[in-house]
Amino acid sequence: MDASRLIIWLMGVVLIAIGLPLYYIARYFMAPEKERNQKARDIRTISIIWMAVGVLIYLTVFISLFTCKTWY
């Protein structure tokens, strides 16, 4: 694995690591009160987007790793 793939892979790790706690914070804020509910939905949406981007980065790295003809 060359340095650029490693950097992209680490970006995916960071995005997932940030997104997962945000998702659980959002679940905590989803209380009966309307204001907390709206904030929780916003945080949850952002966290899902961050985790999805992280997973896409992982998939990109792994797909390019297996489709690349040169193995280092």
pLDDT tens by residue, 32-64? 777 788 788 888 888 899 889 989 988 888 888
- For the chain, the domains span 3-65
Higher-pLDDT residue of 66 and 71 is 66
> Does the predicted TM-score (pTM) go above 0.75?
no
DSSP-based three-state secondary structure for 5: helix
**The predicted structure's pLDDT at residue 71:** 53
* Residue 70: pLDDT band with limits 50, 70, 90: low
pLDDT at 44: 86
Choose among 60, 57, 64, 44: nearest CA to 13. 57
Share of the chain above pLDDT 90, in %: 10
